[in-house]
Amino acid sequence: MTSQGEVPPKESAASSPRPQGRFIRFAVYFAILVVVGVVGFAAFAWRPSIAEGPTPTAASFSPVLIEQGARLAASGFCASCHSVAGGKPFAGGYAMKSGFGTIYSTNISPDRETGIGAWTEEAFRRAMHEGVARDGSHLFPAFPYDHFTKLSDSDIHALYAYMMTRTPVSQRDHPNEMIFPFGIRSLQAGWKLLFFRAGRFVPDTQESPLWNRGAYVAEGLSHCSACHTPRGPLGEELKNRLYQGAVVDGWFAPALTAANPSPMPWTTDELQRYLTTGISKYHGTAAGPMATVSRELADVPPEDQRALVAYIESLSSGDSRTAEVNPVVATALKSDAQDHTRIREAGGRLFVSACASCHYNRAPDVNPERPDLGLNTAIFLDDPRNLIHVILDGISAKDGAPGIVMPGFARGMTNEDVALVASYLRATRTDKAPWPDLAKQVAQIRAEEQGAKP
């Protein structure tokens, strides 16, 4: 035979291929896998667009239905998120910052070109229940559809009637400023796969109808846990730490469970006043992002307010601790009663000169218009930021009790001064560990606030 006979037979070539051949084959398999993966994910992520429809006329809805929608919109804070200060209602443009970039709320007024005027009720319902826009694109969970998915079809119907009868505003949506790749809408399908379960509210048959109504309002409509529950690395609410407190918009939304650090229990009475008027006798004022919430809750029908209060009370069983109220008040009043002329430390002297003229209370009880700092959650939280915000900015006339203000000390106090007063209150009003690095945190919050101002 010729030298060809020395060429290894084909079979053995297959059993010990050249490394290059093996690589090509691997590359081909890998490419097929990627294509199948991408096509599969695209098919999974794809949602059809829903055709435009005529904008319904006001006459097509009963006034009662529109009024019901208005109350639901108040409980769902639609206006707070979909309007900006000085802007037209529901025209969007409200900026929501996160670690993934800035998302701007959209125009949900019934303008056909720039708002949702061309959305049918089916498209609106799908957005609320599944977080999908009319054109089939996935919405970001900055829009709390993970809560609105719990809403009944009849409530969605009322909300649709309300939204479609607002004044149309022509205003283009502000483009989002997201960090790559978080701005890719189809990737939201992956987020949904991991963290989102669509489905209506399921009542707990062990609980009363009042409690269940409150759970529906809190979980479905008012999405209290969106601020009060810590979030994981992808922005998902950690369901095993529901209502255990979280940072939101530079503030700390305290735990609403038994882990709430105020010595004063959150009883039905306290919650009722705090949530619906923004000021409670013992816990003080709803400030920061919570001020907006309590202003909106003031417009919620009384029966829904009561239900919400009953549900929130159950998170910490505040009513079972009413026996603690008087002793806790007595302890707080003792701090207020001390002789100011004997206070020597720098923080204490600052407190006497800057704060004590307003923040004093006398036995037998506290004055609701002068929050007792020995009861206020801000002094007891592990995170000092709420107290720092209040000292720097005060409480404006539109928050808390009508007509009552607390001046801000941003101009009058240095970072060290603010840190001294905060440390003094922490040391004299609580048994908690001192806050570390306070002056640095004050400087940081000051810088953030200045950056936030236009």
> Which residues 279-308 are close enough to bind ligand HEC by CB under 6 A?
279, 283-290, 293, 308
Cβ(256)–Cβ(312) under 8 Å? yes
> Among 10-18, 31-39, 221-229, 433-441, which window interacts with ligand HEC (CB under 6 A)?
221-229
Least separation in angstroms between CB 280 and ligand HEC: 8
Instruction: Among 117, 144, 263, 318, indicate the residue that binds ligand HEC (CB under 6 A).
Output: 144
DSSP state of 306: H
- Residue 245 as a binder of ligand HEC (CB under 6 A): the answer is no
Nearer to ligand HEC, 34 or 194 (CB): 194
Helix, strand, coil percent values for the chain (each to nearest 5): 50, 5, 45
User: Six-digit token pair at 451?
Assistant: 């950056």
Read off φ and ψ for residue 238, nearest 5 degrees: -85, 100
Least separation in angstroms between CB 21 and ligand HEC: 47
Instruction: Among 55, 120, 165, 260, indicate the residue that binds ligand HEC (CB under 6 A).
Output: 260
Strand, coil or helix: what is 429?
helix
User: Six-digit token pair at 202?
Assistant: 């399921």
- Residue 421 as a binder of ligand HEC (CB under 6 A): the answer is yes
Chain residues 398-417 in contact with ligand HEC, contact rule CB under 6 A: 400-401, 404, 406-407, 409
Read off φ and ψ for residue 241, nearest 5 degrees: -125, 40
> Could you give the string, one character per residue 171-210, with x where binding to ligand HEC holds by CB under 6 A and - elsewhere?
----------------------------------------
- Residue 352 as a binder of ligand HEC (CB under 6 A): the answer is no
> Among 31-39, 229-237, 260-268, 439-447, which window interacts with ligand HEC (CB under 6 A)?
260-268
Q: How many residues of this chain interact with ligand HEC, rule: CB under 6 A?
A: 75
Instruction: Among 325, 328, 390, 438, indicate the residue that binds ligand HEC (CB under 6 A).
Output: 390
- Residue 445 as a binder of ligand HEC (CB under 6 A): the answer is no
User: Six-digit token pair at 15?
Assistant: 């059993």
> Among 31-39, 189-197, 278-286, 446-454, which window interacts with ligand HEC (CB under 6 A)?
278-286
The Cα 441–Cα 418 span in angstroms is 10
**Closest alpha carbon to 255 in 386, 86, 143, 136:** 386
> Could you give the string, one character per residue 104-133, with x where binding to ligand HEC holds by CB under 6 A and - elsewhere?
-xx-x-------x-------x--x-----x
Residue carrying structure tokens 């009508």: 402
> Among 26-34, 39-47, 49-57, 269-277, which window interacts with ligand HEC (CB under 6 A)?
269-277
Amino acid at 274: Y
**Closest alpha carbon to 313 in 262, 272, 367, 281:** 272
Q: Quick one: 267 exposed, middle or buried, by C-beta within 10 A (0-12, 13-18, 19+)? A: buried
The Cα 97–Cα 326 span in angstroms is 42
Least separation in angstroms between CB 334 and ligand HEC: 18
Task: Provide the 10 A C-beta neighbour count for residue 429.
Answer: 20
What's the angle, vertex CA 238, arms to CA 142 and CA 127, rounded to 5?
30
Least separation in angstroms between CB 441 and ligand HEC: 15
- Residue 159 as a binder of ligand HEC (CB under 6 A): the answer is yes
Helices vs strands, H then E, count in the chain: 19, 7
The Cα 94–Cα 103 span in angstroms is 8
Least separation in angstroms between CB 248 and ligand HEC: 5
The Cα 43–Cα 38 span in angstroms is 8
- Residue 251 as a binder of ligand HEC (CB under 6 A): the answer is yes
Q: What is the dihedral of CA 307, 311, 317, 320, to 10 degrees?
A: 20
> Among 16-24, 74-82, 338-346, 428-436, which window interacts with ligand HEC (CB under 6 A)?
74-82
> Among 39-47, 53-61, 320-328, 352-360, which window interacts with ligand HEC (CB under 6 A)?
352-360
Instruction: Among 143, 201, 216, 435, indicate the residue that binds ligand HEC (CB under 6 A).
Output: 143
Chain residues 16-55 in contact with ligand HEC, contact rule CB under 6 A: none
| DSSP of 83-114 | --TTS-TT----EEEETTEEEE----SS-TTT
Chain residues 359-388 in contact with ligand HEC, contact rule CB under 6 A: 359, 369, 371, 373, 376-378, 386-387
Cβ(50)–Cβ(120) under 8 Å? yes
> Among 49-57, 206-214, 354-362, 436-444, which window interacts with ligand HEC (CB under 6 A)?
354-362
Instruction: Among 50, 65, 74, 78, indicate the residue that binds ligand HEC (CB under 6 A).
Output: 78
